[in-house]
Amino acid sequence: MTHSLLPVILCGGSGTRLWPLSRETYPKQFLALNGDGVSMLQDTARRLDGLASRIPRNAPVVVCNQDHRFLAAQQLQEAGFAGATLVLEPIGRNTAPALTLAALVAPPDAILLAMPADHVMTKLEPLHQAVETAWDLAQQGHMVTFGIVASRPETGYGYIRKGSAVGEGRAFAVESFEEKPSLQLAQEYVASGSYLWNSGLFMVRADQWLRAMEALQPQMLRACQLSIEGCARDMDFVRPNSDAFAACPSDSIDYAVMEHLPRNVVQGMGARVVPLDAGWSDLGAWDALWDVLPRDADGNAHAGQTLAIDTRNSLLFSESCLVAAVGLDNVVVVETPDAILVVDKRRTQDVKKIVAELKAQGRSLASTHRKVHRPWGWYDSIDGGERFQVKRIVVKPGAQLSLQMHHHRAEHWVVVKGTAQVTNGDRTFLLGENESTFIPLGHTHRLANPGKVPLEIIEVQSGSYLGEDDIVRFEDTYGRVPATENAQ
């Protein structure tokens, strides 16, 4: 039997500990954090480029939140993965159901390589060598994880205890999984040489994963099966049935299956671990980003416009303006257009408490940025006050907003760059640079870009209510439902 490798990119999660850069509507896996303009999702999708030719590889399956579908599709297309399949989770149910959905849409004999989209690996050759080792074991029916060679005693990770050597000594049976340890226990683990960090990367044959789920998590498997049986498909999207998937228990790959395998509970399927030293980080918080970025002579990591004087071991991150620091030590400063974070680098795990407090106060800063991405482009709310709001809107070539109208606001559009095709009531016409139009309250209207360069306009809204839910949508190219997605 000829197997093929099917990368499964797990693209869920909200990344709250990387607030204010990462937010629910634009979480960390879609961000370019290392300064090269490549998002973490794109970097993950490209991670297997150059893999040995003896391993045939399919276009990836990406499991992501349905609200991120257009963002994920656009980034994959930009990275050269136009043939990817996107499985859209109606709600998050952790990694075990996500991998099960992928296995159900994959060929039964495909070898699944589950990769979280929010990890960093700076050395790809060791990864490719580890994947080759795991490939042989997965073909034999085993489930393989990749254990990170521990560089320090780390209390924030789980550990894997190695058993006897297998695969010509390049892999090991899994003796046990250990929870996040105390510092003393972590020091003992590292000193022994018998423990690896649990990375969250897995390789397993699709049919074997489903066998394991049948034996260990039958309720979870059945819910996933029903959700796929009742799924809808459009473009490259697979939409599992939301009611069936809502009944699915939530659990991780580790807890649901992997940790049971050392006890031989699934006949013919063992747990194996391949050591991996590839400059790995799960980038769970700002201190982890500091750890992987280049640093100056004083130990400072910089991104964007920054200036450090008498400052050491700190991270300065700027999106839109100069961040200058004097006399800081072990501090993280992150600037975005609508929020600034200052935190002791030893307390970065507590950033999620800020997000929780913002949610408790009902503030949108917990979940959305000032700049909002849409399938047709993006808009930036650059100013606002009582009865008015100003937006900068950029529409991609060939894209268009929905045909819509508003009950409570009128709009003025001024073209700054490109050519706009405007529907205003019963008229459709073109506007060039420095030309404008007025959309009266209650008028049906649409903005489209018929050109080959991005269209940029300034929109001035005025009225008694300016919320994004004041939209009545009549037609939409992207199949969005007004009741659940009130946005342009």
Q: What is the CATH number of the domain that holds 243?
A: 3.90.550.10
Q: Which amino acid is at 480?
A: R
Omega of the bond leading into 7 within 30 degrees of 0 (cis): no
Q: Are residues 260 and 297 in the same domain?
A: no
Residue 488 resides in a domain: no
CA 406, CA 419: separation in Å to the nearest integer?
A: 24
Residue 366 resides in a domain: no
Full-model pTM: 0.89
- What is the domain count for the chain? 3
Pairing assessment for the beta strands 120-121 and 409-417 based on DSSP bridges: unpaired
Q: How far is CA 409 from the centre of its chain?
A: 34
Residue 81 resides in a domain: yes
In the structure encoding, which two tokens stand for residue 365, read together? 């800063």
Identify the pLDDT of residue 481: 55
Q: Are residues 228 and 324 in the same domain?
A: no
Q: Are residues 265 and 291 in the same domain?
A: no
Identify the pLDDT of residue 477: 85
Identify the pLDDT of residue 264: 78
Contact at 8 Å (CB) between 268 and 142?
Answer: no
What values do phi and psi take at 43, rounded to 5? -65, -40
Identify the pLDDT of residue 468: 84
Q: Are residues 79 and 175 in the same domain?
A: yes
Q: Are residues 234 and 302 in the same domain?
A: no
Residue 487 resides in a domain: no
Identify the pLDDT of residue 486: 42
Domain boundary among 330, 360, 390: 360
Q: Are residues 20 and 131 in the same domain?
A: yes
User: Which stretches within 217-271 are classed as H helix?
Assistant: 218-229, 242-246, 253-256
Q: Are residues 39 and 129 in the same domain?
A: yes
CA-wise closest residue to 132 among 111, 116, 101: 111
Pairing assessment for the beta strands 143-148 and 271-276 based on DSSP bridges: parallel
Residue 484 resides in a domain: no
Residue 482 resides in a domain: no
User: If residue 394 lies in a helix (H) or strand (E), which one and from where to where?
Assistant: strand 388-395
What values do phi and psi take at 319, rounded to 5? -100, -35
Give the 3-state DSSP-derived string for 283-300, with helices as H, strands as E and coil as C: CCCHHHHHHHCCECCCCC
Residue 208 resides in a domain: yes
Identify the pLDDT of residue 105: 96
CA-wise closest residue to 288 among 275, 298, 279: 279
3-state percent breakdown (helix, strand, coil) of the chain, nearest 5: 25, 35, 40
Identify the pLDDT of residue 267: 80
Q: Are residues 311 and 381 in the same domain?
A: no
Q: Are residues 309 and 382 in the same domain?
A: no
Domain boundary among 360, 383, 410: 360
CA 339, CA 326: separation in Å to the nearest integer?
A: 20
pLDDT along the chain (488 residues), means of 10: 89 90 94 86 94 88 94 92 92 95 95 96 94 95 95 90 89 92 92 93 96 96 96 90 95 92 83 95 92 95 96 96 98 97 96 96 93 92 93 97 95 97 96 96 96 97 91 86 46
Domain boundary among 249, 281, 313: 281
Q: What is the CATH number of the domain that holds 447?
A: 2.60.120.10
What domain range includes position 114?
Answer: 5-281
Pairing assessment for the beta strands 331-336 and 339-344 based on DSSP bridges: antiparallel
Q: Are residues 290 and 273 in the same domain?
A: no
List beta partners, residue 460.
Answer: 390, 412
The label of the residue with tokens 């671990």 reads 273
Identify the pLDDT of residue 480: 67
User: Which stretches within 168-312 are classed as H helix?
Assistant: 183-192, 206-216, 218-229, 242-246, 253-256, 286-292
Residue 195, CB-side half-sphere exposure with 13 Å CA sphere: 24
Residue 365 resides in a domain: no
Identify the pLDDT of residue 34: 75
Using alpha carbons, list the distances in angstroms from residue 80 to 32, 74, 235.
17, 10, 17
Q: Which amino acid is at 347?
A: R
Q: Are residues 16 and 66 in the same domain?
A: yes
Q: Are residues 427 and 347 in the same domain?
A: no
CA 135, CA 112: separation in Å to the nearest integer?
A: 10
